[in-house]
């Protein structure tokens, strides 16, 4: 078997030589580059996914996408059996394999890694990789290349799920490994039924009658708009209009559209204008794993009132907290109470005003380094963990133990106090756990949960915007010769090295009211990212600029030693 496997790998790898001068790293975004340079990478990603399936004895996923990048780029992400990102411990192997210069080097890396991991070729355990791609024109060819990589590992089978959103593929992997139906129709039915359940339990009254059901969604000319057009036919109690919905000949993927564009530029995407002033709008990114809301400004139609991931998180946290309180407050016998740990997970990029608001609600807020893999892992430590990045990527995780207990309480309340608030709270929480994508951030499921919660509260987008007011902030980049010269700790908020740099940052920060500043090395390029907040915009700008100068000065000294 070993010799046969070696021969197959050598022959297959020879068809996809590594392009000269390209070095790739695997991070939260997976591998990503100009599409024309990715054939060898997609072939090798297929090998990695196949080996991951052999190692775990479960189905894994391989998604071909470059998310919010320009249409000429592409990339690949690998999903673990639970639908989350590939285990971090495999990232060094993934990088080494992607950059192996010759087929012979590739084979030696594979056999060495297989030995270390105790992987057996052609074993009896199931080995399958689900494949998906977004709407990029290069996706189909790269998918075929990745299939060849999967088939180059004996005993592993690729299964093409077609054009899907990134969250759909992660959901399919997660469901399949639970032994549940995992087709796209199953995804649509689960979301529509859960949404209907939440809408049916919206309290009757004036607020519900006056709620504006209209929602306009920017699909980023990508797969998310296409899928939402299909799903909205199954939805009741919602009026959704999809623009930039990936119709042939109309618009370019991620070009002046999408969540990343709206969030960073704070302007309306193409296709939105004066007629939309005052309406509730939302925007997906290219592969539909990010979501932001916005409203075109009445003061300046060229700008928007942004509702980013921090405010989405705050809305969800407020709702979940209220349901947990409702669940337990009406229980006279304490033994029937259901205590739950509710954790809010943010990164240092979360606006300080959002963190203050969440803490004022009495919620536990913890921080992790930047990157979904860190946020997701931390959120999984709670009965209910909520995480969102400001860019709109995030979700809610419910532990299996908590859901089991919640189901028991639902049955108990249904038998003893039908129609009670505790029963309704149980039903709402169960519906949320079914609606939200617990494998990964999902713009479509997140959008439906936002709409359900806003209806429940009878809120306009103005009510939501006024939850709290963001502190002004500024982000800058400093080009450096070696980004690894900066070492951080405490969720990337404190600098360990170079020595003395953190003291300089602290001294600058102390000059301004409600100020906060941190730096961190980029994960993909030789730049140091600087983030600053303060009570007014000029102070945030000044703080970011002065800290950038310190970074330049310290790293300049470092390079001379």
Indicate if 240 and 389 belong to the same structural domain: no
How far is residue 199's CA from residue 94's CA, in Å, rounded to a whole number?
44
Which of 154, 179, 204 is the last residue in one of the domains? 179
289 is in an annotated binding site: yes
Domain that holds residue 408: 310-465
> 321 Cβ partners below 8 Å, 6+ apart?
342, 361, 362, 363
> 97 Cβ partners below 8 Å, 6+ apart?
44, 47, 48, 106, 109, 110, 113
541 is in an annotated binding site: no
Degrees to nearest 5, angle at CA 76 with 71 and 79: 135
pLDDT, position 558: 46
What's the CATH number where 77 sits? Answer: 3.40.120.10
pTM: 0.94
| Beta-bridge partner residues of 50 | none
305 is in an annotated binding site: no
Indicate if 430 and 502 belong to the same structural domain: no
328 is in an annotated binding site: no
Which of 444, 465, 486 is the last residue in one of the domains? 465
Instruction: Please report where in the chains the tokens 């299909």 appear, as a residue.
Output: 230
User: Does residue 186 lie in a domain region?
Assistant: no
522 is in an annotated binding site: yes
Indicate if 24 and 66 belong to the same structural domain: yes
User: Does residue 330 lie in a domain region?
Assistant: yes
Residue numbers in the chain where pLDDT is lower than 70: 123, 125-126, 206-210, 248-249, 330, 332, 334, 524, 556-561
pLDDT, position 561: 31
Catalytic machinery residues? 67
Which of 275, 307, 339 is the last residue in one of the domains? 307
pLDDT, position 420: 86
pLDDT, position 70: 95
pLDDT, position 525: 77
Q: Look at strands 342-346 and 304-307 and give their pairing.
A: unpaired
391 is in an annotated binding site: yes
What's the CATH number where 314 sits? Answer: 3.40.120
Domains of the chain: total: 4
Indicate if 396 and 283 belong to the same structural domain: no
Indicate if 388 and 422 belong to the same structural domain: yes
């Amino acid at each position: 078997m070993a010799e046969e496997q070696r021969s197959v790998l050598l022959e297959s790898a020879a068809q996809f030589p590594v392009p000269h001068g390209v070095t790739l790293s695997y991070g939260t975004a997976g591998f990503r580059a100009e599409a024309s340079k990715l054939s060898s990478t997609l072939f090798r990603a297929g090998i990695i996914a196949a080996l991951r399936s052999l190692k775990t004895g479960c189905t894994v996923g391989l998604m071909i996408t470059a998310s919010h990048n320009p249409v000429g780029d592409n990339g690949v992400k690998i999903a673990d059996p639970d639908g989350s990102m590939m285990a971090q411990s495999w990232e060094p192997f993934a990088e080494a394999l992607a950059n192996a210069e010759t087929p012979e080097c590739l084979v030696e890396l594979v056999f060495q890694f297989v030995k270390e991991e105790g992987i057996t070729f052609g074993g009896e355990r199931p080995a399958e990789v689900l494949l998906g791609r977004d709407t990029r024109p290069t996706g189909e060819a790269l998918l075929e290349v990745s299939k060849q990589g999967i088939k180059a590992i004996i005993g592993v089978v690729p299964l093409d799920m077609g054009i899907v959103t990134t969250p759909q593929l992660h959901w399919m992997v997660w469901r399949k490994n639970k032994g549940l139906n995992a087709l796209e129709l199953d995804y649509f039915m689960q979301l529509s039924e859960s949404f209907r359940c939440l809408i049916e339990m919206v309290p009757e009254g004036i607020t519900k009658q006056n709620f504006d059901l209209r929602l306009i969604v920017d699909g980023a000319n990508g797969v998310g708009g296409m899928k939402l057009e299909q799903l909205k036919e199954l939805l009741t109690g919602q009026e959704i209009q999809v623009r930039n919905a990936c119709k042939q000949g109309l618009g370019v993927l991620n070009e002046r559209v999408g969540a990343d564009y709206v969030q960073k530029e704070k302007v309306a995407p193409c296709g939105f204008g004066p007629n939309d002033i005052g309406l509730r709008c939302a925007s997906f990114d290219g592969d539909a794993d990010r979501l932001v809301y916005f409203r075109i400004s009445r003061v300046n139609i060229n700008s928007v009132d942004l509702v980013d991931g921090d405010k989405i998180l705050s809305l969800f946290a407020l709702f979940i907290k209220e349901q947990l309180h409702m669940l337990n407050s009406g229980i006279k016998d304490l033994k029937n109470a259901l205590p739950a740990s509710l954790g809010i997970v943010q990164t240092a990029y979360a606006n300080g005003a959002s963190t203050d608001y969440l803490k004022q609600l009495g919620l536990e807020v913890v921080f992790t380094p930047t990157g979904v893999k860190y946020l997701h892992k931390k959120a999984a430590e709670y009965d209910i963990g909520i995480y969102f990045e400001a860019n709109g990527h995030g979700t809610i995780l419910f532990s299996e133990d908590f859901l089991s207990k919640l189901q028991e309480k639902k049955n108990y309340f249904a038998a003893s106090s039908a129609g009670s608030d505790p029963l309704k709270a149980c039903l709402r929480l169960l519906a949320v756990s079914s609606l939200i994508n617990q494998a990964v951030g999902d713009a479509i499921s997140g959008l439906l949960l936002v709409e359900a919660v806003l209806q429940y509260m009878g809120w306009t987008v103005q009510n939501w915007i006024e939850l709290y007011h963001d502190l002004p902030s500024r982000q800058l980049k400093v080009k450096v010769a070696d980004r690894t010269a900066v070492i951080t700790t405490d969720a990337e908020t404190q600098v360990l090295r170079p020595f003395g740099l953190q003291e300089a940052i602290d001294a600058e920060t102390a000059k301004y009211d409600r100020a906060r500043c941190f730096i961190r090395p980029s994960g993909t390029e030789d730049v140091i990212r600087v983030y600053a907040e303060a009570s007014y915009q000029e102070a945030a700008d000044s703080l970011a600029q002065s800290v950038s100068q310190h970074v330049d000065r310290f790293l300049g000294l470092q390079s001379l030693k």
